[in-house]
Amino acid sequence: MSKTGLLILSNPARVKKYLPVIKNHVLQTLYIQYSPEKKIHQLKTICPNFMTSIYALATSGLSRIDVRVLANAKRQIIATRRPVEVVMFDRKCSPEDGQLFINKFLSNRTTSCRYISLVNDNEEAVEEEREALEEQVVVYDNVVLGGTFDRLHNGHKILLTEAVLRSKKKVIVGVTDESMIKGKVLWELIEPCER
């Protein structure tokens, strides 16, 4: 079992199917990179509906795992905060392609990083219908949002990711301080920013 894993996802409709399998391979952190192309060596951007559905499924199916959907639209190298120990593909992957992906596109990995194809050899490669991922998203130069952002959860992750996806230049995040939270019910339960 690995502490940190990366799922290369070509079809969001498959996520729910693979959650039980992912729980058997990852203990703490799961990064998800959406890559709809036929070749795993080409990475693309992702859209907000995909992100929201992934975080919603993760909240129910992977409650003990910190799920992080990567939103690297302009870069092809995947940079993660924690070193990746296992890379999982939701499609068949040859040993050469799996190792090439790890070496070429993953900057923070353990020396023993391995890959797994979640599709069984017996399983037919049935292509489920893709969700409408190519919607028009309004993009702004700057996006501003605010909140307490204590006890970071998937709702916060959706909000912050939406802000990043809708911003061309800057995302400005205001974190609520003491004077503004005094009026909240149970304000004393809000964690300080230093944590």
CATH of the domain at 101: 3.40.50
Q: Quick one: 55 and 150 in the same domain? A: no
* Strand ranges, E, within the chain: 2-9, 26-34, 66-69, 84-89, 109-117, 140-147, 167-175
Confidence of residue 135 (pLDDT cuts 50, 70, 90): low
Q: Quick one: 105 and 167 in the same domain? A: no
Average pLDDT over residues 168-189: 78
Give the separation between CA 37 and CA 11, rounded to whole angstroms.
10
Q: Quick one: 168 and 100 in the same domain? A: no
pLDDT over threshold 80, residue 110: yes
In a domain? residue 135:
no
Q: Is 169 helix (H, G, I), strand (E, B) or coil?
A: strand
Average pLDDT over residues 54-65: 83
Average pLDDT over residues 43-56: 67
Q: Quick one: 100 and 180 in the same domain? A: no
When the pLDDT of each residue in the chain is averaged and rounded to a whole number, the result is 79
Residue 42: give the domain boundaries.
2-117
In a domain? residue 132:
no
Q: Quick one: 109 and 161 in the same domain? A: no
Q: Quick one: 61 and 98 in the same domain? A: yes
Number of domains in the chain: 2
In a domain? residue 26:
yes
Q: Quick one: 93 and 185 in the same domain? A: no
pLDDT of 188 reads: 66
Q: Quick one: 92 and 145 in the same domain? A: no
Give the residue carrying structure tokens 């990567």. Answer: 70
Residue 93: Cβ-neighbour burial (10 angstroms; 0-12, 13-18, 19+)? buried
Q: Quick one: 180 and 104 in the same domain? A: no
Confidence of residue 152 (pLDDT cuts 50, 70, 90): confident
Q: Quick one: 59 and 152 in the same domain? A: no
* CB 89 within 8 Å of CB 98: yes
Q: Quick one: 89 and 177 in the same domain? A: no
Residue 53 dihedral angles phi and psi, to the nearest 5°? -70, -35
**Is the full-model pTM beyond 0.75?**
no
pLDDT over threshold 70, residue 69: yes
- Spell out the residues 6+ positions from residue 132 whose beta carbon is closer than 8 angstroms to its own: 49
Q: Quick one: 144 and 82 in the same domain? A: no
Which two three-digit tokens encode residue 24?
Answer: 């058997």
Confidence of residue 47 (pLDDT cuts 50, 70, 90): low
Average pLDDT over residues 14-19: 85
For residue 106, the cross-strand partners are: 78
pLDDT over threshold 60, residue 46: no
The segment with the largest mean pLDDT, out of 47-56, 88-97, 173-182, is 88-97
pLDDT of 195 reads: 57
